[in-house]
């Protein structure tokens, strides 16, 4: 098969599996796990020297970093669809993707690990602090959704997918999003998409 996706669905590979589903791509899913040291084996380090998932091979082309992978796949397979052709819209896709990684990811992951991670490693105070840290970026997101239903306008795009896939952790950790009703409703709409549901199902299957 032309496309290989490395990484179990309960890792950040969720983002790539969701993207592949949106694009209707056929792929081989290599369920490499971080929990059993699979990401640190020499065979995988040859693909991603960081020892992190996700990574892909697309017709022999290797790529790692979840956001870069999603931007690449969307541009290759859905230019003019999920990936915008307009230069400014493309720049806004990058903006939201980098913003998600720099402003949302750490607090969302901290809440997740400390609320529903392994019980003996949970720190309620750290979870609460991270939840408070999410307030500022969530306000920005909520404001951005005041004028249009999606981040780039009227249509769902890779910008929505990338940000919503990061915020999946906040929903899983049952962060109360009611103070940002537009962001909350948008997130639910994104997560209700069939491709997101399929990726969630892969998470449940392990
Ligand atoms: N910035 C990277 C982070 C990837 C990452 O840290 N993935 C975790 C799983 S969610 C991982 O592979 N951990 C295994 C390890 O560090 O050995 C991305 O977004 O792809």
DSSP 31-43: ---TTTTGGGSHH
pTM, 2 dp:
0.97
* pLDDT, mean of residues 105-132: 97
Q: What is the pLDDT of residues 138-176, one digit of tens each?
A: 999 999 999 999 999 999 999 999 999 999 999 999 999
For β-strands 3-6 and 61-64, DSSP reports them as unpaired
What local confidence, expressed as pLDDT, does residue 1 receive? 63
Other beta carbons within 10 angstroms of residue 60's beta carbon come to 7
In short, whether 114's Cβ falls inside 6 Å of ligand 1 is no
**Three-class SS of 115-170:** HHCCHHHCCHHHHHHHHHHHHHHHHHHHHHCCCCCECCECCCCHHHHHHHHHHHHH
Atom of ligand 1 nearest to the CA of 37: 17
Atom of ligand 1 nearest to the CA of 55: 20
- Under the banding of pLDDT at 50, 70 and 90, the label for residue 206 is confident
Q: What is the pLDDT of residues 27-48, one digit of tens each?
A: 999 999 999 999 999 999 999 9
Edge-to-edge strands of the sheet including 28-30?
28-30, 3-6, 55-58, 61-64
Is residue 104 over pLDDT 80?
yes
What local confidence, expressed as pLDDT, does residue 132 receive? 97
What's the CA-to-centroid distance between 50 and ligand 1, angstroms?
A: 8
Distance separating alpha carbons of residues 78 and 81, to the nearest angstrom? 5
Q: Extract the tokens encoding 179.
A: 């103070």
What's the CA-to-centroid distance between 203 and ligand 1, angstroms?
A: 16
In short, whether 15's Cβ falls inside 6 Å of ligand 1 is no
Q: Average pLDDT of the chain?
A: 97
Is residue 65 classed as helix, strand or coil in its secondary structure?
coil
Phi/psi of residue 5, nearest 5 degrees: -115, 120
Of 5, 34, 44, 101, the one to substitute when testing ligand 1's pocket (max ligand atoms within 8 A of C-beta) is 34
- For domain 3-81, give the CATH number: 3.40.30.10
Sign of CA pseudo-dihedral 180, 186, 192, 196: negative
Atom of ligand 1 nearest to the CA of 52: 12
- The domain segmentation of the chain, as residue ranges, is 3-81, 87-196
Distance separating alpha carbons of residues 34 and 172, to the nearest angstrom? 20
* For residue 54, cis peptide bond before it (omega within 30 degrees of 0): yes
Tell me, rounded to whole angstroms, the distance of Cα 181 from its chain centroid: 21
Quick one: which of 161, 191, 198, 134 has its CA closest to 67? Answer: 161
What local confidence, expressed as pLDDT, does residue 143 receive? 98
Distance separating alpha carbons of residues 64 and 51, to the nearest angstrom? 10
Question: What is the assigned CATH class of domain 87-196?
Answer: mainly alpha
């Amino acid at each position: 098969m032309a496309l290989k996706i490395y990484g179990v669905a309960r890792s950040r590979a969720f983002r790539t599996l969701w993207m592949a589903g949106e694009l209707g791509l056929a792929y081989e899913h290599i369920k490499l796990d971080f929990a059993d040291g699979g990401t640190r084996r020499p065979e995988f380090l040859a693909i991603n020297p960081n020892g992190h998932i996700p990574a892909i091979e697309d017709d022999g082309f290797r790529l790692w970093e979840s956001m870069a992978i999603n931007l690449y796949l969307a541009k290759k397979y859905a230019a003019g669809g999920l990936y915008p052709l307009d230069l400014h819209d493309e720049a806004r896709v990058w903006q939201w993707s980098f913003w998600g990684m720099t402003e949302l990811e750490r607090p969302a992951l901290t809440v997740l690990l400390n609320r529903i991670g392994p019980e003996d490693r949970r720190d309620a105070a750290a979870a609460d602090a991270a939840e408070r840290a999410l307030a500022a970026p969530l306000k920005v997101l909520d404001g951005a959704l005041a004028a249009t239903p999606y981040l780039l306008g009227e249509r769902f795009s890779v910008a929505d997918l990338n940000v919503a896939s990061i915020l999946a952790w906040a929903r899983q950790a049952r962060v109360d999003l009611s103070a940002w009703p537009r962001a909350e409703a948008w997130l639910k709409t994104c997560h209700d998409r069939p491709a997101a549901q399929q990726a969630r199902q892969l998470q449940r299957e392990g």
